[in-house]
Amino acid sequence: MALVPLRSLPGAGLVPGPDRVVAAASNVGHKVLYGGLADLRPMPRTLIDDGTLREVYHYRPSGTVKETGDPVLLVTPLAAPAICYDLRRGCSLVEHFVTGGRPTYLVEYGEVSFRDRNLGIEHWIDEVVPSAIRAASEHAGGRPVHVIGWSLGGIFALLATADSTDLPIASLTVVGSPIDVSQVPLVAPLRPLLNWFNGKGPITKGYQLLGGAPKPVVRWAFQLSSFQKMVTKPLALATHIDDTEFLAQIEAVDRFTDNMIAYPGRTFGQLYHRFAKGNQLATGVFELDDRTIDLAEVKVPVLVFGGSTDGIAPVGAVRAVVPLLTGAPAVRFEIVPGGHLGMLTGRAARHTTWPVMDEWIAEWSTDEPAAAEPKATPESTTRIGTNRKRKHGSAASRALGAK
């Protein structure tokens, strides 16, 4: 006889069994006594390089773990805290790489203040990301670096790679980075209104006056993207009061949201005008004041992830980058479960996103054995472009990705 999950039974959420009552009481007691259920200890790290809004860290291996293979560099997006990669023990991409013996590095930006208001996107493309890649490579003995960027961090990594083709990059992984913002539900309806103001609207005046987007505004925007979850959160907490893992993840995500960082003024203006209004990246060409960056100039293998329930960077907005990477030796697109943050460091990511990253890194490392092929299902991952000699997968694979 098949076993039926407890929560699927009629009235299970209203009349909890003895086991659930005991688990719920234990969770409540632990939260009261210790302040929470999540293990939020950061992975140990050492600063190896720094500059203006640039801090590069090496995560130290613990115990008997020995670092081997090419390093990875995690590129933090603007406004989000670096704990996106080290959310909590058990749901930390940093922990996953470090315990696996992978030399692991991260670049973050520290606190953004009013004095940084004149820094534009060029600062990250010309200085922050290239310097971090070179620092990680040098610290790892001159080995090429597997660069992983989430959200805007992925866009910065793409632009820096296209603009500086001499960087020591082994591969590039882009996670939840919206390339075609016309496919972002939060932005698409507003674009005609934004263009109607012709650069002189209240948003432009606001960020110019404030020197950027302050932390409270950034935090509000992130929460707005998950409005439905915010509304249903009290009910979700009540019905999962016995689920320690669920409650721990909620705590970790709340801490992440509470630590949002401000945008520098000029950078925010460029993102607003060129991404939200102009949708420049959808063409594959990004205009800066002194040059043009073409994504076709990316000459390294690229792995792209889209989250199946991502409201900030929907699958279509992310997938739009695939046909633009005509210069890359291989492009692979994956659809994985989760929203914008969950696809990177949610509970499911341990079994979907991370194994694909491991396989990809091993495949494009010159002296490492290829990892075993991860078992993929329509509900977990969709593989497109796994053949090095082509950019797109079979018709069946494309049809699966369209679901």
DSSP for 307-332, please give it: ETT-SSS-HHHHHTTGGG-TTSS-EE
Phi, psi of 119 (to 5 degrees): -80, 130
Residues 199-219: pLDDT tens digits? 454 444 443 443 444 444 444
Is the confidence at residue 17, as pLDDT, over 80? no
First CA to last CA distance, the chain: 32
Mean pLDDT of 365-383: 54
Percent pLDDT > 90 in the chain is: 47
Task: Of 129, 80, 7, give the one whose Cα is nearest residue 345.
Answer: 80
Provide the pLDDT for residue 350: 93
CB 112 within 8 A of CB 261: yes
Q: What residues contact residue 244 under an 8 Å CB cut-off, 6+ apart? A: 23, 26, 27, 37
**Do 161 and 172 meet the contact criterion of CB atoms below 8 Å apart?**
yes
Average pLDDT value for the chain: 76
pLDDT, residue 207, reads 39
Separation of alpha carbons 106 and 387, rounded Å: 29
- Tens digit of each residue's pLDDT (9 = 90 or more) over 25-41: 443 443 444 445 668 99
Q: Which is higher by pLDDT, 7 or 286?
A: 286
- The answer to whether domain 45-193+265-401 has CATH 3.90.105.10 is no
Give per-residue pLDDT as tens, 76-85.
998 788 899 9
pLDDT in tens, 61-109: 978 889 999 999 999 998 788 899 999 999 999 999 999 999 999 999 8
Q: Could you give the CA distance from residue 6 to residue 16 in angstroms, rounded to a whole number?
A: 9
Task: Please tell me the predicted confidence (pLDDT) of residue 259.
Answer: 73
CB atoms within 10 A of CB 238: 10
- The pTM of the full predicted model, rounded to 2 decimals, is 0.76
